[in-house]
Structure 1
Amino acid sequence: MPVMHFTVRWPDGSEADCYSPSTVVGDFFVPGERYALHDFVERAREALHIGSERVREKYGFACSAALDQLAQIEHAAQRFAAQPDAAVTVLALR
């Protein structure tokens, strides 16, 4: 199954390299685009759940790495939840 990594810039300028077990994240994110924090988290949640389910369909079990990545994204996003204009930029898909 082809994996995809995506690099994001959080509202504080820090960057993170994220993992997806599927290229489906390319359907949810465009490199160079800024997403409102809530929108980014929702898109990541949907994309990573779809990716995990694709792994389940192929191998019979969910992708724990995708679910771990989602937990990391949700945890990081909490730091900025009080900022009404917080946005995340998707820097690259690879």
Structure 2
Amino acid sequence: MPAMHYRLRWPDASESTCYSPSLVIRDYFEPGGSYALPEFLRRVREATQIASDRVAAKYGFACSRAADQLDVIEAQAARFTDQPDARVQMLAFQE
């Protein structure tokens, strides 16, 4: 199963490299795209669940690394929930 990394820019201009066990993340984001924080979280949760489900279908167990990555993303996003105009930018996909 092809895994990939992707780079994010948070509202404070910090950047993160994140992991997905599947290329499905590409179906939810565009490189250079900017997403309101709630929309970003909705999309990344859905994409991560699908990716983990694909791992489970292939190997018989969910991807704990994907779940851990989502926990990190959620924690980072929590820093900006008090900012109504907070946006997250998808910088690039890295295979």
> With structure 2 as the length reference, what TM-score do the two structures score?
0.98
* RMSD over aligned Cα atoms: 0.4
> For the residues of structure 1 that align with 2:42 and 2:65, how far apart are their CA atoms?
18
> Which residue matches 1:34?
34
Flag structure 2 segments of 5+ consecutive residues without an equivalent: none
Aligned positions of 1:45-60 closer than 5 A: 45-60=45-60
Q: Please tell me the residue identity of whatever aligns with 1:36.
A: A
| TM-fit CA distance, 1:25 | 0.1
DSSP-derived class of the 1:50 partner: helix
Q: Does 1:76 align with 2:63?
A: no
Percent of aligned positions that are identical: 59
Can you list the C-alpha shifts for 1:11-39, whole angstroms capped at 9, x where unaligned? Answer: 00000000000000000010001000011
Flag structure 1 segments of 5+ consecutive residues without an equivalent: none
Q: Please tell me the residue identity of whatever aligns with 1:68.
A: D
Aligned length: 94
| TM-fit CA distance, 1:4 | 1.2
> Which residue matches 2:93?
93
> With structure 1 as the length reference, what TM-score do the two structures score?
0.99
DSSP-derived class of the 1:46 partner: helix
| TM-fit CA distance, 1:67 | 0.4
